[in-house]
């Protein structure tokens, strides 16, 4: 919702949903309730995303070593965006695998996928 451009009627609908006392204005308290709702939803969404990513990471960590190879990461990135060139992939992997180990652990993988 944040950063979204709304038409006049859409904005009126949103305000009417937030405006608990029906006075046509959003008070600070009403705004705070809305903001708190978004924070809780964002936290829950982040946790759910991390659980899904952890499951995906375990699938790609075929040996169960706690890391995936950069070759596997290359496959994942190509699946996510088949328009990436080999140079793009090389640059991304060089940045992710800064130590040149040829592997990516869970924390590195998570950082790539959700920042």
Per residue in 15-70, pLDDT (tens digit) is 777 778 888 776 667 666 666 665 555 556 777 778 888 888 888 887 889 999 99
Name the DSSP letter for residue 6. -
Q: Got the DSSP string for 22-80?
A: -SSS--HHHHHHHHHHHHHHHHHHHHHHHHHHHHHHHHH-TT-SSEEEHHHHHHHHHHH
User: Residue ranges per domain, the chain?
Assistant: 1-48, 61-115
Q: How confident is the model at residue 95 (pLDDT cuts 50, 70, 90)?
A: confident
Q: What is the pTM of this model?
A: 0.53
Q: Is the pLDDT of residue 101 over 80?
A: yes
Higher pLDDT, 27 or 82: 82
Q: For residue 1, what pLDDT is reported?
A: 46
Query: Are the beta carbons of 50 and 114 closer than 8 angstroms?
Result: yes
99 pLDDT band, cuts 50/70/90, is confident
Which one of 3.40.50.970, 3.40.50.150, 3.40.190.10, 1.10.238.10 gives the CATH number of domain 61-115? Answer: 1.10.238.10
């Amino acid at each position: 919702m944040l950063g979204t451009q709304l038409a006049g009627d859409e904005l009126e609908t949103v305000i009417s949903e937030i405006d608990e006392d029906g006075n046509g204005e959003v008070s600070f308290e009403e705004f705070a309730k809305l903001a708190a709702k978004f924070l809780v939803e964002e936290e829950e969404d982040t946790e759910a995303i991390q659980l899904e990513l952890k499951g995906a990471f375990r699938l790609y960590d075929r040996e169960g070593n706690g890391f995936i190879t950069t070759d596997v990461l290359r496959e994942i990135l190509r699946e996510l965006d088949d328009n990436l060139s080999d140079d793009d992939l090389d640059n991304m992997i060089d940045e992710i695998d800064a130590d040149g180990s040829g592997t990516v652990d869970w924390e590195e993988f998570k950082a790539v996928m959700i920042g």
